[in-house]
A = this chain, B = another copy of it.
Amino acid sequence: MEYGTKQLQIIEVAEGLFAKKGFAGTSIRDIAQEADINVSMISYYFGSKEKLIEALFSVRMAETETTMVNILENQDLTAMQKVNIWLDSVVGRFMFRKNFHNIVMREQLSSNRSETITAFIMDLKMRHIDLMKQLISLGIREGVFKENLDMSLMMTTIYGTVNQAIANQDFYRRLNQLEHLSEEEFNLYLLEKLKVHLKFIFINSVSNEQQGLN
């Protein structure tokens, strides 16, 4: 599906509101007001509120598609290099698309609110798990990864940590007395912290080598 600038602007406004107030908690009048358009334009462009969130998902998921595959199917990288690049890209994507991943999280918490979106998410998860399995078996073949590790639990920790970190960023900021940083600076700070933390955990749990705290 192709969307014009107007549609994309509506999608972006909706994304922000859904992330802040939830899908059910956001009215199309909220969206119309913030996007500075008439309420009827949402039905006009997308058909319905439900179709609007589906449009949001289809746009954002298309973005992820290529990145992931390119990294993991690159033949010139070792397993350990791929892990590093992959973790960077996961953390980066979650931070860059905070609002969207907030919504994804909410949809996962709802048991089957929307068939279409459940399918979207399931599809994405399956593709990720698949690529990760390849990466892990490459690591095992290279002799750098332990065998018989529960990959799905490891991914649960990676995604869970990033989600939790972003959901609690305000708390983390206060706790570590980082209020003096600007929004932008703090984002960068948290991004780096998360990358280091996750690489440390991942490599320490999965690889045969031991890595110290930096």
| A39 interfacial contact with B, CB 8 Å | no
Docked Cα-Cα span, A152 to B176, in Å, equals: 9
Q: How many copies does the complex hold?
A: 2
Say which residue of B102, B163, B193 sits within 8 Å of A150 (CB atoms): B193
Measured between beta carbons, the chain B residues less than 8 angstroms from A167 are 105, 108-109
User: Is A22 in contact with B106, judged by CB distance below 8 angstroms?
Assistant: yes
Contacting pair A152 B175 (CB below 8 A)? yes
**How many residues on chain A are close to B (CB under 8 Å)?**
48
Flag the segment in A42-50, A73-81, A197-205 that touches B.
Answer: A197-205
A82 interface residue per 8 A CB criterion: no
Mark interface residues in A86-129 (1 if CB within 8 Å of B CB, else 0). 00000000000000001001101111010000000010010001
Q: Nearest-CB distance from A98 to chain B (Å)?
A: 11
Taking CB atoms, residues of chain B closer than 8 Å to A210 are: 210
A62 within 8 A of B: no
Q: Which residues of the partner chain B approach A3 to less than 8 Å between Cβ atoms? A: none
Does any Cβ of B come within 8 Å of A70's Cβ?
no
A156 and B148 form a contact (CB under 8 A) = no
Contact: A129 with B172, CB < 8 Å?
Answer: no
B residues in contact with A201, CB < 8 Å: 157, 201, 205
A168 adjacent to B108 (CB under 8 Å): yes
Query: Is A106 within 8 A of B108, CB to CB?
Result: no
